[in-house]
Amino acid sequence: MAQHIHAFTIVVPDYDAGLAFYVETLGFTLTSDIDLGGGKRWVLVTPKGAATHILLARADGPDQDATIGNQTGGRVGFFAHR
């Protein structure tokens, strides 16, 4: 089997906001939403037909809050096509 990236992480303000954007707005599939306790969840969304998932990680503190929307240092870091 060929190697592929299983998942990568995107920091979001909170899980529900991330789900609203990726699932409701972009039409991705909610693949997993598991309560890990302590307010943490394992939330994976997947573009339709894709093998790579996106792990939505809730920002934890001001340093991570600052990365929301700027996770690649102001550069375009992710490209999708159909």
How many structural domains comprise the chain? 1
Q: Report residue 80's pLDDT band, with 50, 70 and 90 as the boundaries.
A: confident
The reply to whether 16 falls in a domain is yes
Domain assignment present for 82: no
Count of residues in the chain = 82
55 domain-assigned? yes
CATH number at residue 25: 3.10.180.10
pLDDT value of residue 2: 85
| Mean of the per-residue pLDDT values of the chain | 93
Q: Tell me whether residue 58 is in a domain.
A: yes
Give pLDDT tens digits for 24-60: 999 999 999 999 999 999 999 999 999 999 999 999 9
Contact 40/33 with Cβ under 8 angstroms? Answer: no
Q: What is the 3-state secondary structure (H, E, C) of 12-57?
A: ECCHHHHHHHHHHHCCCEEEEEEEEECCEEEEEEECCCCCCEEEEE
Q: Is the pTM of this model over 0.85?
A: yes
Whole-number Å distance between alpha carbons of 12 and 26: 15
- Please give the residue range of the domain that contains residue 51: 7-64
Residue with the bigger pLDDT between 82 and 51: it is 51
pLDDT number for residue 1:
76
